[in-house]
Copies of this chain bind each other. A is one copy, B any other.
Amino acid sequence: MNKKLRIGFADTTFARADMVGFAIDEIEKKFPELEKEFVRRTVPGVKDLGVECKLLYERDKCDIVMAFGMVGGAAVDKTCGHEASLGIQMAKMLANKHIIEVFVHEDEGENAADLLSIFEDRSRKHAVNAVLIATNQSELTKLAGKGLRQGRQHVGELKRN
């Protein structure tokens, strides 16, 4: 195609790592020949991501959009994360497009280094998913039911013992 793939990123000032940085790095490495351009919009927190993603499609004419966020460890934060995810579901329905949600929960990591590795691994793997959905979704079907994980190692397909 002679049109650049327009990849939209929505991220937050609340998160504690530059998730978009990981995603861009991964896309550059894994898809070096892809004609692409990036649009990045930052909002305060996860609850602001849904409408921003919708605007990335409707206002910024992106071809695929990713939503990056961190959910804090307190109960009220969990509720916020849930509301944010429902907002993203609404945005998908109204935009009629995929939004690849990359959320990290602050209490997922055993320590700061472990948490950072989750941020990085999940952002990188979902960046690949986003590009594949936009360009070559059948590649994902080869991996259907294979127990893939983002943030941690893949767990694999169940085997009959």
Contacts and interface: CB of A to CB of B under 8 A. Distances in A.
Nearest to A90: B93
A86 interface: yes
A158 interface: yes
Contacts of A17: 145, 157-158
Given A79-B82, A141-B42, A148 B112 contact: no
A141 B15 CA distance: 12
Given A16-B145, A42-B137, A112 B160 contact: yes
Interface string A13-54: 111111111000000000000000000111110011011101
Contact of A92 (B50, B80, B148, B160): B50
A1 interface: no
B89 A140 contact: no
Interface in A84-101: 85-94, 96-101
**Which of the listed residues A16, A42, A111, A145 has the most CB atoms from chain B within 10 Å of its own CB?**
A145
A51 B155 contact: no
